[in-house]
Amino acid sequence: MTGVLTESVLASVDLEDVLAQRAWLRCSDPFPHVIAHDVFTPRFYAELSGALRSVLDRGLSETSDRARFSRTMRGYDAYGLSITHETGGPLALFVSPAWRDLLCGLFGVERTPYVYAGAHHHAPFSEDGFIHNDFNPIWFPRSVPGDEAIVTPAFGRCHFKTGEGTLEPHEKVETVRGAVAILYLLNDGWRTGDGGETALFATRSGPLARPQVTAAPVNNSLVAFECTPNSFHAFLKNHRLPRTSIIMWVHRGLAEASQRYGADRLERWER
């Protein structure tokens, strides 16, 4: 089943200067998700691409390097880059209240100030990912009461998976991934058969070769969905070209996630 998210829905968010204002497609199988093409205006897409291209031009790092795409994701054959307020430029959209509100509104997720954004780069012939649901707990520095600013992870002071670090217990908070958006860019020349899709599954058992839905990494398109115990998805290996994306999660409160889906269904990180 599908439905259309019309321009009137998107216009309720103050993103008129950058969104192309086209209809977004809401789908229900194998779980609720949204597919959109021509997401941003050509001008803003060019700005996003240019900003990320300038980072790629610095080269890839096999060790952690906040200024470059780095090997920081254990068990995932990709290079990652964190996007924070300090990143600035057009990439800062993904840690803005407006983009947070858009993603929360698409799936009825509780709005909190906690946002985690980054970019992934898969070199050609990267390995398949694994089927997972993103229904994970994430730690952040606790926001200041009354402050509407977006809060991003503080890796040195509060590890996003464990909460370990220099912050005192009252200075940090455990949240749960509420919804995710994956925007594809810098994938010039992609064609069917090249791989690099985001695959959606009805069950964790897959198999990878038979997803129910695939979202192609076509430039200026996105796939988004609520993170639930059943939002099973995976990266499919790319056969010819690199694959680059921006990924952004909004986070809900631990109590709200537990009440809605059950605390026992949280996917705790392996130590």
Per-residue tokens: 251? 């986070």
Rounded CA separation 156/16 (Å):
36
- Specify which residues 247 forms β-bridges with: 118, 182
Strands 115-122 and 137-141 come out as unpaired
For every residue of 33-98, DSSP letters joined together read EEEESS-B-HHHHHHHHHHHHHHHTT-EESS--TTSEE--STT--SEEEEE-GGG-GGGGGGGSHH
What percent of the chain is helix, strand and coil (3-state, nearest 5)?
20, 30, 50
CA 222-263-84 angle, 5° bins: 40
pLDDT by 10-residue block (mean), the chain, 271 residues: 47 72 92 97 96 97 94 91 93 95 95 97 96 97 88 92 94 97 98 97 94 98 98 96 97 95 91 62
DSSP 145: T
Question: 45-265 has which fold?
Answer: Jelly Rolls (2.60.120)
The tokens for 16 are 């008129």
Domain map of the chain by residue range? 45-265
Phi first, then psi, for residue 93 (nearest 5°) are -55, -35
Amino acid letter at 36? A
pLDDT at 3 (0 to 100): 56
Q: Positive or negative, the Cα torsion across 176, 201, 188, 11? A: negative
Helix (H) or strand (E) holding 4, with range, is strand 2-5
Q: What is the pLDDT of residue 8?
A: 42
For the chain, what is the largest distance between any 2 Cα atoms, rounded to a whole number of angstroms? 50
pTM of the full predicted structure? 0.94
What is the rounded CA–CA span in Å between residue 124 and residue 126? Answer: 6
Nearest-5° Cα angle at 181, 88 to 173: 75
